[in-house]
Amino acid sequence: MSKPLVAVVGRPNVGKSTFFNKICGKRISIVKDTPGVTRDRIYADAEWCGYSFTLIDTGGIDYDKSDAMFSHIRKQAEAAVELADVILFFVDGKEGLVAADFDIADYLRTSKKPVILAVNKLDNFELDTLYDFYKLGLGDPVPVSAEQSKGLGDLLDETVKFFDRVDEDENAGIKIAVVGRPNVGKSSIVNKILGYERVIVSETEGTTRDAVDTTFFRGDNNYTVIDTAGLRRKRGIDYDSVESYSVMRSIAAIKRADVVLAVFDASREVSEQDVRIAGMVHEEGKPCIIVMNKWDKIQKDTHTIEEFKKDLDNKLAFMSYYRSIFVSALTGLRIDKIFELIDSVYENASRRIPTGVLNDVIREAVALNEPPSPSGRRLKILYGTQASVNPPKIVIFVNDEKLLHFSYRRYIENYIRKSFDFSGTPINIVYSSKKEDQ
């Protein structure tokens, strides 16, 4: 099930980024008193009372300023609103209502999305201040002080009330996002999978503007395929155009997917942008299948596929777990085989290892290669347990995490991967210090 998106919006200097950083537990977004510091959307995952969601920090909306920078910031914030499931509208409780607050409130009403009004900077919880904000017509204001961490729980309580809507996604089956550069054949692959022309196919870059969902059955299994807009390099994007919205929808599609097909053009060299797109999938922790399309255009011999795989292994070394397939959307070559890979990597991402079996493997790995002790103190691995799936998350308790060298982290992950089939999916191994007698 995909995580709900929560957009944090408001005019400049109302404390949106301070709230964002507090909830995410780390300083991700820059906090300064200068208007326009936060320009692009910044995403971070958060959790509250068992609900997982993604916060989107946005730049301050200012309708009075018409220069290019503020126009860009406004469009980026509007894109976040369009993508969001819930909107947190921040206003300044110290300064009080200003004309810009009314303008933003009017705009948010047109979105038809749930809007929660957060009155920030009420460090002493001056509740009498709240009454004036009813004039915005957005329901009961929620008093908070992001700086003092006051009222944030109440605000999040109001936010998660709207998250039941994600239950509508339960019948979507396995969600498959199809991503890649423009004109690599994403829509052609989608149409071939579906067996009819569901999305427009054209040689013109940028034909697909929206992320298009289509749910279908194949045998006893249920799938939803999400065709997305082509992802170009940032410097190639006009942020005042529709394309910037399309890019954000593509990124959101990756976030809500169960499996991602990253489509590359086999008739061209794997580019930096191809690698960057694969990196986005990796950073979101999604199972990834590299689909080398247009294989019909390649002159082949007995070593061709191995040469291509060697090139992919070199350029995608950061995600060595990926799976690959060489297809032709034009001729239908191996299109059916894509589903075997999708089912396989989804099963691997959903795999849960019993605690006893996992610890047997960890002990075996340590026995074969004990941790180094360059400082005189030796790392002791106490035990491990799998905390979650999709992607698999394994927590390993040690006597002192500071003694853990990155090379030994890699060794443990490789040994776990050798013992269990996690091909196609990242695994998140978290180490936690714990006293041996605890």
Q: What is the pLDDT of residue 65?
A: 67
Q: What is the pLDDT of residue 71?
A: 77
Q: Does residue 82 share a domain with residue 152?
A: yes
Note the pLDDT tens digit of each residue in 118-141.
999 998 888 888 999 999 999 999
Residue 170 in this model has a pLDDT that exceeds 70: no
Indicate the average pLDDT of the chain. 84
pLDDT band at 165 (very low <50, low <70, confident <90, very high): very low
Query: 1-15, 187-201, 283-297 — which is least confidently predicted?
Result: 187-201
- DSSP states of 246-311: HHHHHHHHHHH-SEEEEEEETTSPPPHHHHHHHHHHHHTT--EEEEEE-GGGS---TTHHHHHHHH
Q: Does residue 37 share a domain with residue 127?
A: yes
Q: What is the pLDDT of residue 228?
A: 81
Q: Does residue 184 share a domain with residue 63?
A: no
pLDDT band at 168 (very low <50, low <70, confident <90, very high): very low
Tokens 């969001």 found at: 84
Residue 37 in this model has a pLDDT that exceeds 70: no
How many structural domains compose the chain? 3
Residue 161 in this model has a pLDDT that exceeds 50: yes
CA atoms of 23 and 175, how far apart (whole Å): 28
Q: Does residue 389 share a domain with residue 246?
A: no
Last residue of a domain, one of 349, 369, 395: 349
In a domain, 130, yes or no: yes
CA atoms of 426 and 431, how far apart (whole Å): 16
Region 19-32: mean pLDDT is: 61
Q: What is the CATH number of the domain that holds 383?
A: 3.30.300.20
Last residue of a domain, one of 318, 349, 380: 349
* 8-state DSSP, 2: P
Tokens 């999978």 found at: 193
Q: What is the pLDDT of residue 236?
A: 45
CA atoms of 133 and 119, how far apart (whole Å): 8
Residue span of the structural domain in which 131 resides: 5-167
- DSSP states of 353-397: --HHHHHHHHHHHHHHSPPP-TTSPPP-EEEEEEEETTTTEEEEE
Last residue of a domain, one of 145, 167, 189: 167
CA atoms of 211 and 248, how far apart (whole Å): 10
CA quadruple 267, 273, 279, 280: dihedral sign: negative
Note the pLDDT tens digit of each residue in 276-303.
999 999 998 999 999 999 999 999 998 9
Counting Cα atoms < 13 Å in the Cβ hemisphere of 297 gives 13
In a domain, 25, yes or no: yes
Q: Does residue 155 share a domain with residue 205?
A: no
Region 358-379: mean pLDDT is: 89
Q: Does residue 343 share a domain with residue 262?
A: yes
Q: Residues near 291 by Cβ (< 8 Å), separated by ≥ 6?
A: 189, 261, 262, 263, 264, 324, 325, 327, 338
Q: Does residue 147 share a domain with residue 191?
A: no
Note the pLDDT tens digit of each residue in 233-280.
655 444 444 344 556 677 778 888 999 999 999 999 999 999 999 999
Q: What is the CATH number of the domain that holds 136?
A: 3.40.50.300
pTM over 0.75, yes/no: no
pLDDT band at 199 (very low <50, low <70, confident <90, very high): very low
Element (H, E) at 87: strand 86-92
In a domain, 17, yes or no: yes
Q: Does residue 324 share a domain with residue 363?
A: no
Q: Does residue 387 share a domain with residue 246?
A: no
Q: Rounded to whole angstroms, what are the CA distances from 4 to 40, 55, 83, 347?
A: 19, 9, 10, 23
Q: Does residue 144 share a domain with residue 129?
A: yes
Neighbours of 159 (CB within 10 A): 25
Q: Which candidate, 281, 63, 266, 304, places its Cα nearest to that of 184?
A: 266
In a domain, 438, yes or no: no
Q: Does residue 209 share a domain with residue 137?
A: no
Q: Does residue 201 share a domain with residue 321?
A: yes
